[in-house]
Amino acid sequence: MKLAVLPGDGIGPEITDATLRVLDAADRKFSLGLRTERHPVGLAAYEKHGTTFPEATRTACRSADGIVLGPLSQVDYAPREKGGINVSAEMRSGLDLYANIRPARSRDGLQHWGRTPMDLVIVRENTEGFYADRSMHLGIGEFMPTPDLALSVRKITAQGSRRIAEAAFRMAAERRRKVTAVHKINVLKVTEALFLREVREVAKQHPEVKYEEQLVDSMAALLVRDAARFDVVVTTNMYGDILSDEATELSGSLGLGGAINAGDRYCMAQAQHGSAPDIAGKGIANPTSLVLSAAMLLDWLGARHGKDALVKAARAIDAAVDRVLASPKSRTRDLGGALGTADFAGAIAKELLSS
């Protein structure tokens, strides 16, 4: 299996190194045959190539079996026409990574911030919705007819809605068999109606899965009050982006949430959090999110290619992270521990190899 590794910006190179250390341990333990190739993106690529997303990197991602992408500082990029490409958005659209899958799970020994523990997954449509850079074939979906009037286009398609619903119901069938669709149909009566029409049709094909709906504002409140009631949550792009950050933070920390961007052909592991430039280079960043994202990538690759070893490795990484986090002494500083990025990765790798 060949993985294209894009370290990114800020703390990206540090947590990417940590993640590769854990993957190397998994490779040795389970004989996975992993091959990793690093390719430049972000500010480092811009300085050398005049673009944050060189064509050679794009080509390498298309030829890889999977992709690991570190955090990006896209708010600091030059305009797109001057080479400042949003790599994450470009990959999601260009590789048709339509499903952003973000688990949020409370972990033994770590404090959670909601009223109840949680173990849920938010399945977010990833290629359309309110995101203006994904709304148009040519140009972006935001425009200003006058200096004092700004408009934005929201795109919802039947195909996009149906396939994200199918992904959610497939996942629910392997978990606790419940899907919650999140929407705002009382305000966005046309686009939300189309989304819900497709989700409801998919629900009819899965009678073994319980189906319910929630308004996005009530969903935000319920994640705080009673997150334990939810299993798989399916929603459109922006709602999923916001709710998944809320859920992961409530479950313990945004730094503990893994995520993948998956399509029918490609899958990309990506940490839920940002590039944290204020602590870049200090060796104190928590790499858990990217480590767990890489484990999710292995699981996806194992399912797609029928390779049980990859699935076993993914589960072993997740379990090793749990065991390391269970001890306050072996946590990173953001979680009250004393370990730096490299030592924390070493602890996970050691736990993985000894289990």
Active-site residues: which are they? 131, 184, 217, 241, 245
Instruction: Please give the C-alpha separations between residue 302 and each of 240, 263, 295, 310, 313, in angstroms, as whole numbers.
Output: 26, 15, 11, 5, 9
Are the C-beta atoms of residues 190 and 242 closer than 8 Å to each other?
no
State how far the Cα of 139 lies from the Cα of 72, in Å rounded to an integer: 22
List the structure tokens of 102.
Answer: 């973000």
Please report which residue ranges of 116-208 form alpha helices under DSSP H: 158-173, 191-204
Q: State whether the Cα torsion 305-308-314-315 is positive or negative.
A: positive
Q: Find out whether 132 and 93 touch, Cβ atoms under 8 Å.
A: no
Nearest to 297 by CA among 129, 13, 97: 97
236: part of which helix (H) or strand (E)? none
Question: How far, in Å, are 117, 328, 333 from residue 108 at the CA level?
Answer: 10, 11, 18
Whole-angstrom distance between the N-terminal and C-terminal Cα of the chain?
23
Crossing angle between the packed helical segments 288-305 and 308-325, to the nearest 10 degrees = 160
Q: What is each CA distance from 200 to 27, 166, 241, 253, 255, in whole angstroms?
A: 41, 11, 22, 33, 34
Between CA 141 and CA 135 the distance in angstroms is 5
